[in-house]
A and B are shown apart, each in its own frame.
Chain A
């Protein structure tokens, strides 16, 4: 399955899960800021991905929660430390960090949850089957 095929399916299930128009679901769209996803929607998305692609998905694999638990080694003055960035990269290997690394503000971690993140995650899982 190509990344494009996966994106098409991800797009369709996000339209159902989040009640958004399909032209809003671009690869760059952020689930929370652009598509108004709430916390419970993330689990709904995980379930839909499981059904669509026949996978078992651990919610924390795709959408990790509480990565840093306020640890000062990882977060200082509202920004991620180099250790924090490394930790985030290891927890979210499918996220596009390029823009975030320039301004690693803790509050912007939610912006890493994009449509593209889901597509890349599924591509890695489907390819690995």
Chain B
């Protein structure tokens, strides 16, 4: 399974805010277990998508040189279930940013309805002297997330998009 829980960015304002969408598909394996006969998007995976949206917002500030890891979720509220067939919109706004870490506030909506909201706290691993333990390789912003990083940049600079092929 690809551990990417957002499908694309729809807005990206560096250092300020980001919006991404996630389409929920019945083909995702977790619905078989969560729950049999009653498929519901697991709340933890909704938070993961929100954290990926926020993590990329935070990482982009330092051009993805820092290892940005989810350190703490001080508050999270879930207002209703999300089910296959729906499209979730993850919106995050930067609350604080420092050399050691960052906090974002996030909202998850489906159309006009509020699905969840959370505050997510990220730490910069390098700034907390963990590089000895984790090495220099940036395991956070590598591989599969590269695709989304490109999408985030495209969302940030729509004017520079090449014209669509016809």
Residues of A with C-beta under 8 A to B103 = 44, 47
Interface residues on A, range: 10 to 19
The answer to whether B121 touches A44, judged by C-beta atoms less than 8 angstroms apart, is yes
Interface of B, secondary structure class, is strand
Q: Flag whether B55 is at the interface (Cβ < 8 A).
A: no
Shortest distance between the CB of B131 and any CB in chain A (Å): 16
Shortest distance between the CB of B102 and any CB in chain A (Å): 8
Instruction: Tell me how many residues of B have a C-beta within 8 Å of chain A.
Output: 13
Chain B: CB-nearest residue to A60? B100
Q: Which of B96, B98, B123 contacts A40 (CB 8 A)?
A: B123
Contacting chain A: which of B10-18, B24-32, B42-50, B70-78? B70-78
Given contact pairs A47-B95, A51-B95, A51-B96, A40 touches B74 in the complex (Cβ within 8 A): no
Interface of A, secondary structure class, is helix
A47 to B71 CA separation, bound complex (whole angstroms)? 14
Q: Flag whether B101 is at the interface (Cβ < 8 A).
A: yes
The 7 closest A-B pairs by CB, nearest first: A47-B96, A40-B71, A47-B103, A43-B101, A43-B100, A44-B121, A40-B72
Q: B-side interface residues toward A, CB under 8 Å?
A: 71-72, 74-75, 95-96, 98, 100-101, 103, 121, 123, 128
Q: A-side interface residues toward B, CB under 8 Å?
A: 16-17, 19, 39-41, 43-44, 46-47, 50-51, 59
